[in-house]
Structure 1
């Protein structure tokens, strides 16, 4: 898939470089023609036929190069997305979170003063916090504290 998209991008880049080169050549030819003429009425044909189209080709080439590079960047982002998200799972189908070992299994419940959740003692969110204290059952009963969605202490205590 990647090579098919890159094949369509490379002609855009080549066309951009070709337009830039042709525009530069036309500008040089126009400048050379204008510099050799003393009178303005003899300089106008060089401006009209070389310099103005050359400048337009330079602008068009710059736009094509920017578009081609943007397409390459989009292709790379899409490839990274497929590597991260769309990859086949390693586990067999039908196994979900229920089949995995629980994250925390401790029966002791803790809370952080000023926090809004209550946790199991081995929950990774409170395991390393020295300020964690045992849960006040009054706060849980009043609904001021919610169960942690990570360690899910409500399933065991309900």
Structure 2
């Protein structure tokens, strides 16, 4: 399901690319000017007027690109959240209650090594993962593993 919104490039990304390009051009001009001068005192004007501002523009462009990508990612998350909310509201029945179908009903418990949650074998988070192993009863009894909120929302242990 797609929304009708056009995917556009965030203006901060354009500004970042422009700053990077301008900085690169200034650095090249500064390098070209410095390369033709033999004495350091004649190279300083090129450093001051081209190379240092060019390097600053490159840094600013990198910061703008990072910020623009973060803003784009946040917009995508908001779009996905809107889709989830829309899908959740379409799953409700006429009385306004959500259909209470369990997501996972298997009695076999699995865990991912190094993880902190246990899952039912048919949980979508571990289904088909080769690294998922059966839960050790000592870990489960010791409280080191908590129930997965996706496949065991009621907190029932299998």
TM-score if structure 2 supplies the norm length? 0.55
1:111-122 correspondence runs (5 A): none
Please name the residue that 1:76 is paired with: 76
Q: Deviations over 1:33-54 (max 9, x none)?
A: 1111111111000000000000
Please name the residue that 2:15 is paired with: 15
Gaps of 5+ in 2: 108-153
Aligned in 2, Cα 1:150/1:69: closer, same or farther, shift over 3 Å?
closer
1:1-158 correspondence runs (5 A): 3=5, 10-87=10-87, 88-96=89-97, 124=105
The number of equivalent residue pairs is: 106
Gaps of 5+ in 1: 104-123, 127-148, 152-158
Alpha-carbon offset, residue 91 of structure 1: 3.6
Separation in 2 of the partners of 1:48 and 1:11?
30
> If each structure's helix is expressed as a fraction of its own residues, which one has the higher value?
1
Q: Mark the structure with the bigger radius of gyration.
A: 1
TM-score if structure 1 supplies the norm length? 0.55
Superposition CA RMSD, Å = 3.2
Aligned in 2, Cα 1:17/1:102: closer, same or farther, shift over 3 Å?
closer
